[in-house]
Amino acid sequence: MVMASVIRKLDETVVNRIAAGEVIQRPANALKEMIENCLDAKATSIQVTVKSGGLKLLQIQDNGTGIRKEDMDIVCERFTTSKLREFEDLNSIATYGFRGEALASISHVAHVTITTRTLDAKCAYKGGYLDGKLKAPVKPCAGNKGTQISVEDLFYNVATRRKALKSPGEEHGKIVEVVSRYAIHNAGVAFTLKKQGESTADVRTPQNATIVDNIRTVFGPSVARELIEVKHENTKLSFKLDGQISNANYSVKKCIFLLFINHRLVDSSSIRKAVETVYATYLPKNMHPFLYFSLEISPNNVDVNVHPTKHEVHFLHEEAIIEDIQKCVEQKLLGSNASRTYFTQALLPGAPVSISDIQKDTSESAASSSNKDKVYAHQMVRTDDKIQKLDAFLHKVPQDSVVMDTSVNRTEEKMDTSSGGQDGEASGRAEQSSSSTESRKRPLESTSEDQSPSTSSSTPSSSKTGTPHYRDIKLTSILKLQQEIEDNMHEGLRELFKHHTFVGCVNAEHAVIQHQTKLYLVNTIKLSQELFHQLALFDFGNFGIMRLSNAAPIYELAILALESEESGWSESDGPKEQLAQYVVELLQSKAEMLEDYFSLEIDKSGQLCTLPLLLDNFIPALDGLPMFVLRLATEVDWEDERGCFSTLAKECCRFYGIHKNLRLVDKKEDVNKSMDNEDKDTSMPDYDWRWTIEHVIYPALKAQFLPPKAFAENASVLQVANLPDLYKVFERC
């Protein structure tokens, strides 16, 4: 016979330990609570040090108010808080914590030491805690103003919890995620996260940075450049939204979603899904945006108690608020991606653009958008792209033979070198490799966890700054070269490129773009060269990879180059074979660096296997490859670090930039031509440069180009028509 079991009241420490497990599920949860405590204590600097993903040590130091000595013996007990007195206070609570549960919970599952000093105290005090209680009376000690809390051996007494955790590496990834998100949201507070004993920080944001600065630091410049600010307030639903969201030029494989509700990092799958549906019409299939939202909802309407970890949040009027957010995002995306506007006109003799012209234009546009009824007819631009596009005047052939998609998820492009680069014509062609495995450099695809709460504890996490592939390059030489480009940027031209509309290619060298009521003739060659120069420096160390379908022997490439007129080889330079051998040896000796930083792989037998992918969907004209290889050996400054990177970038612009002799001719004509061309393989589709210039080069110029000041004067950009002036001409007729 089975006896009924006896019901016993659980021992209090057991109860507390169970409760602790609910609040603190992993090191990152504990850290989040402690960061919030620092912020509640008005800290402006928060430094986190961890060991073994926070399992061995989780230490947080702030410069906040500190804890009074007389409170130190109860600070780790359950339901002790300095933030709440009565139940009614719950409705208007403005601090993060209020339940007095975090420190108590942590002290039940780890060894906690607190060292703290208030502003008026003569010294700091230190105490060790176990199961919510002080182990021994607090002791005076030296210390700065603020609080340091060390949590050691987390879950030492909860074997099941410890087993359920991922590897220290993955726990560290979660910690990086929490710290970097709080760092972004709390502009004005400096954050540092370090592994114990390491000198470089995994996250570091300065105190005086803006939110966008912080996003740039954490997620990289490619996303920071594409952000749109969102500001919205709805008094009826009593909520306020501030945010930064990516525009239609940017996308990642997994949505990066940073949500703060009343300054607490939370998750809401309903908000994320709703916003993602808005993006679906703007982004390539299966691609997602970057979203940072700070939502302030009247505390009366948020139920923060919904879950012990307070992660997935629900609030009153959720549907109405979400709908309002959707509308707001939609409007922003529409505005940033203004429908294509065209107008065409026989080219007038161009006058150089003056800097003031462009600046005036942009200030005008700001004024006119704020004052809508001031747009006169002569300032209006047509928006019917069907009639007005320049391409309509050319014989257009469907783009069937060019298989290019605009998504960024494709990483390795296979190039066919079998066509050799011998002939003077461009003959690069691309094949998509669907089995590509290496991820493109774009940062932080992996930091966004699959936001569904049930799986959040099992999502894979990542290493440094949450990115397995994006490396933060801190070489001073590179940073300086980048800084020079930034300092030399022409604001007006940046504005022009940022908001331009592509009208059409005149030839390989020139294209026409429109900005507001003006039409410009721009030099694609100069622009593309500078673009690749910048890409080479800004994405340094993080390029994607183009793999040659057949590895190309460097020796033969060098011979080919030396045989061309361009190389300027003469007898006095010595035998070509000897020079070619020198090229092979030199490049092989640099192979490790070239592969690591430059995605250029040379195998043991001296064959070139990969080239850096500087821009998605862009493959340089391969006839330039022999010269590129020769010049890597002869023109790059291999002596000095900065000189080396700078000359490498210059060689990239030469090779990757658009060339004058690239054919933009129509495919139909193309076929006819190649028929008279005896050595041409007609079955091979030609690389469509016109398509590439319009769909790859110009969007990149729009998205991330920092035009140098010289471009306003050297005829790279020429204004050829101005709508108001044309009106004047017609009025006289």
546 DSSP β-pair partners: 413, 611
The footprint of Mg ion on residues 109-168 (CB under 5 A) is none
d(CA 186, CA 180): 10
User: Of 115 and 427, which CB lies nearer to ligand ADP in the complex structure?
Assistant: 115
**What is the rounded radius of gyration, in angstroms, for the C-alpha atoms of the chain?**
31
Nearer to ligand ADP, 38 or 512 (CB): 38
Query: Which span sits near ligand ADP by CB under 6 A: 74-82, 390-398, 589-597, 694-702?
Result: 74-82
Quick one: residue 568, left, alpha or beta (phi over 0 = left, psi -120 to 50 = alpha)? left
**Residue-by-residue DSSP string for 578-599:** HHHHHHHHHHHHTHHHHHHHH-
Of Mg ion, ligand ADP, none, which one sits near residue 147, judging by CB under 5 to 8 A according to partner kind? ligand ADP
Residue 234: which of ligand ADP, Mg ion, none does it interact with, CB under 5 to 8 A by kind? none
Q: How far is CA 230 from the centre of its chain?
A: 18
Dihedral angle over CA of 128, 133, 136, 137, nearest 10: 100
Residue 258 in contact with residue 268, Cβ under 8 Å? no
Q: Which of 44, 45, 82, 298 binds ligand ADP (CB under 6 A)?
A: 82
Q: Which region among 102-110, 390-398, 473-481, 659-667 touches ligand ADP (by CB under 6 A)?
A: 102-110
Residue 99 binding target from Mg ion, ligand ADP, none, CB below 5 to 8 Å by type = ligand ADP
The residue among 75 and 554 lying less far from ligand ADP, judged by its C-beta, is 75
Least separation in angstroms between CB 43 and Mg ion: 13
Interior CA angle at 649 toward 644 and 651, to 5°? 95
Question: Whose Cβ is closer to ligand ADP: residue 65's or residue 523's?
Answer: 65
Cα four-point dihedral sign 557, 560, 566, 568: positive
What are the phi and psi torsion angles at 475 (to 5°)?
A: -65, 125
Site for Mg ion in 31-70 (CB under 5 A): 37
Cα–chain-centroid distance for residue 539? 11
* Residue 81 beta carbon to Mg ion: minimum distance, rounded to whole angstroms: 7
In the complex with ligand ADP, the residue whose CB is nearer, 115 or 446, is: 115
Q: Which is it for the CA torsion 624, 662, 690, 683, positive or negative?
A: negative
Nearest residue to Mg ion, scored by beta-carbon proximity: 97
CB 376 → ligand ADP: shortest distance, Å? 59
C-beta of 488: minimal distance to ligand ADP in Å? 45
Q: Which residues contact 655 (CB under 8 A, 6 or more apart)?
A: 620, 624, 625, 627, 628
Rounded to 5 degrees, φ, ψ at 656 are -80, -30
Select the binding partner of residue 98 from Mg ion, ligand ADP, none (C-beta < 5 to 8 A, by kind). ligand ADP
CB atoms within 10 A of CB 526: 20
Q: Could you tell me the end-to-end alpha-carbon distance of the chain, in angstroms, rounded to an integer? A: 112
Q: Which of 394, 430, 385 is nearest to 410 (CA)?
A: 430
Length of the chain: 733
**Residue 220 is a binding residue for Mg ion (CB under 5 A):** no
Output 41 or 218, the one with its CB closest to ligand ADP.
Answer: 41
Looking at the Cβ atoms of 50 and 102, the one nearer to Mg ion is: 102
Pick from 20, 30, 55, 103: which binds ligand ADP (CB under 6 A)?
A: 103
Q: Of 611, 631, 663, 471, nearest to 562 (Cα)?
A: 631
Could you tell me the CA-to-CA distances from 262 to 240, 259, 293, 299, 428 in Å, in that order? 10, 10, 11, 8, 54
Q: How many residues bind ligand ADP (CB under 6 A)?
A: 23
Residue 159 CB, shortest distance to ligand ADP, in Å, is 25
Out of 53, 54, 64, 97, the only residue in the binding site for Mg ion (CB under 5 A) is: 97
By a kind-dependent CB cut-off of 5 to 8 A, residue 264 interacts, out of Mg ion, ligand ADP, none, with none
64, two tokens: 């906040």
Q: By CB under 6 A, tell whether 696 contacts ligand ADP.
A: no
147 versus 186: smaller Cβ distance to ligand ADP: 147
Q: Which single residue is written with the structure tokens 């108590």?
A: 104
How far is 476 from 658, CA to CA, in rounded Å?
A: 30
- Measured from the CB atom, the residue of 23 and 697 that comes closer to ligand ADP is 23
Q: Which of residues 144-163 bind ligand ADP (CB under 6 A)?
A: 147
List the one residue from 33, 226, 267, 651 that touches ligand ADP (CB under 6 A). 33
Q: Nearest approach, Cβ of 105 to Mg ion (angstroms)?
A: 10
Q: Of residues 99, 181, 469, 590, which one binds ligand ADP by CB under 6 A?
A: 99
Query: Closest residue (Cβ) to ligand ADP?
Result: 97
| Tokens coding 70 | 């007389």
- Residue choice 29, 59, 81, 180 for contact with ligand ADP (CB under 6 A): 81
Distance separating alpha carbons of residues 705 and 700, to the nearest angstrom? 7
Q: Which residues in the 246-275 window bind ligand ADP by CB under 6 A?
A: none
d(CA 33, CA 23): 10
Q: Which of 21, 64, 132, 504 binds ligand ADP (CB under 6 A)?
A: 64
Give the nearest distance from C-beta 164 to ligand ADP in angstroms.
Answer: 23
Q: Does 113 bind ligand ADP (CB under 6 A)?
A: no
Q: State the minimum distance, in angstroms, from the CB of residue 353 to Mg ion.
A: 57
Please list, residue by residue across 66-103, b when 16 or more beta carbons sit within 10 angstroms of its beta carbon and e when fewer do.
Answer: bbebeebeebbbbebbbebeeeeeeeebebbbbbbbbb
Q: How far is the CB of 83 from ligand ADP (least distance, A)?
A: 5
Q: How many CA atoms lie within 13 A of 482 on its CB side?
A: 14
| 275 contact choice in ligand ADP, Mg ion, none (CB below 5 to 8 Å, kind-dependent) | none
Where b means 16+ CB within 10 Å and e means fewer, 159-193 reads eebeeebbebebbbbbbbbbbbbbbbbbbebbbbb
Q: Which two tokens stand for residue 128?
A: 């060790």
Using CA atoms, how far apart are residues 301 and 92, in angstroms rounded to an integer? Answer: 10
Residue 65 binding target from Mg ion, ligand ADP, none, CB below 5 to 8 Å by type: ligand ADP
Query: What is the smallest separation between the CB atom of 98 and Mg ion, expressed in angstroms?
Result: 8
Q: Which of 37, 341, 447, 610 binds ligand ADP (CB under 6 A)?
A: 37
102, 245, 404, 633: which one binds Mg ion (CB under 5 A) = 102
Residues that bind Mg ion (CB under 5 A): 37, 97, 102
Residues that bind ligand ADP (CB under 6 A): 33, 37-38, 41, 62, 64-67, 75, 80-83, 97-104, 147
